[in-house]
Structure formats: C-alpha cells, structure tokens
Amino acid sequence: MTISKAVAMKNKGVIVINKPTDWTSFDVVNKIKRLIGLSRVGHLGTLDPMATGVLLVTIGKATKLFDIMQEKKKTYVATFHFGEETNTLDSTGKITNSNNKIVTRKEIEAILNTFVGEISQIPPKYSAKSVNGVRAYMLARKNEDFVLPAKVVKIYELKIIDFNDNILTLEITCGSGTYIRALGRDIAYKLNTYATMISLVRTKVGKFDLNQSIDIKSLTKDNIENYILPIDSVLDYNKIELSDINTKKILNGQTIKTDLQDGTYKLNNELDTIALIQVHNSNAKMSLFLG
C-alpha cells in the first residue's frame, strides 16, 4: 500500500518552534504529541523555562537525528546583570552572592576573547545533569552537597550587543552542551564580580532561525501539518543516487562499492530521506535508517 505524502509528513519530520517563556521544552513536546496523536516526539536541545526561542521538535523517526543535530551551532542573545548571583544563575533563583563592583565596557572587552574557543565549564547545579542517576536540580532543591565535573564546550563567537548600568547583552554562538548561565557566571568571576542571567533567547539552531519558527500557542490539530518539515530539508548532506538493487542491499545492511568521495550522504525515496549513508574508501554503508 502506498503511503500518501500527507500521512508520511504527519508521522515523520521536524517542527521549528518559537518556545515562549514559562513553557518547558517538555511542555512543548507534550502539546505536539496531543495534536498529532503520536507518542514518538522529542526535541533537539533543551531550553530552560525562562528562555525563549528556537526549539526543534522531532516527530517519529526524526527523533533519531538527536546526535546529528547536536553538532550544529546554536546562537543565543543573553542579558546578564552584574553584581548579583543566584543559586540558579538566573533571575528565577534566590540571591546567594553580591558585591558593589561597577564593571566597565573596557574591562569586558579585555577578557571576552578568553572565552572564545574550547573552554572548560562547570554546569550549573540547577541543571538536568545526572548525578548517580538523579537530576542535579533535584539534589540542589534539597540542598544536598555535590560536585558537577567540568566539561569542555566550544564558543565560536561572542559579540557585545549592549552594555549599560552593569547590564550586558551578548550574542553567543556556541556548540552543543554550553550552559549560557554558566558562561555569564564565569565571565563575571573573571571581572571579580557576580552575574545573574535575566533573559535568554535562542535565535538560531543550525540553519533555522526565529523567522522560520512558529509560536507553539498557534498550533492546532487543523494546522500543525503545515509546519512539519521533511527530514530532507533538515539535513545538509548531498544525495546519493542508487539503483533499486543497490538501494535494497544497502537498506538490508550490506556494503556496496561507490566512486563517491568519503562522507555522509542522504538516501531519499519519492517522499523524504529514508537513510544516511556513510562512504569510506569507496565503500558505502547505511549509518542511520530513517524510513
């Protein structure tokens, strides 16, 4: 039986959401589950409840794209207030440290480049990091003592958007796993003060930005299919053209010979991408099934 394009799109794809404040990423996923009547829905990168902006939501086999999309750059606009630090590192928490230092733009500019590149970062205690199988924020809420190990994250670019009255707005382009709250904390420490993040907007994930996103509150059962993007449009790989025989072989896990250069390729049918193919030393083999 041939699957219609409409049915295929509803069961597999990506929606670019503009997450509102006070919605968790889980809230967004749950609403989409209800609207499309499917349980296999996920997202590609958590946004804190106070944060807004681009959240990629995956449906069906598109949930397998998590590891691939984690490699994409993300861009944020964050605002920090110097002089105070909260237990959550943002404005939802309780003040734990403060001082009266007045920071200058010149001081910020002098140290900002030290945070570009690969840097070591300790995640916030109020985060979803796991500590012996328990989420860190749950331990933090109980005032339990624990230490989160530092991890290496990558910052591609930091750009000052505005600075006035000890309030700094930065545009941050970074890799996966970067905690923007923790970045603000560490910048402040280097300036011998404290910082609290008072707003955060994720403006871009990979090639998708706010202009391509839809407010989750605008989605209904009647219009949601209009906003589901095919997997093909999300993946920035060249397509591989195979004969019917070789397509069958490769989907069955066999390796075939090819004259293509080493790299990752998309294998498509008439509807969408059905698999990712890895080519190495003239050998092509399926690395991810998406059909």
- Residues noted as catalytic: 48
Give the span between the Cα atoms of 154 and 175, in whole angstroms. Answer: 5
Give the span between the Cα atoms of 126 and 49, in whole angstroms. Answer: 12
Instruction: Tally Cβ neighbours within 10 Å of residue 206.
Output: 18
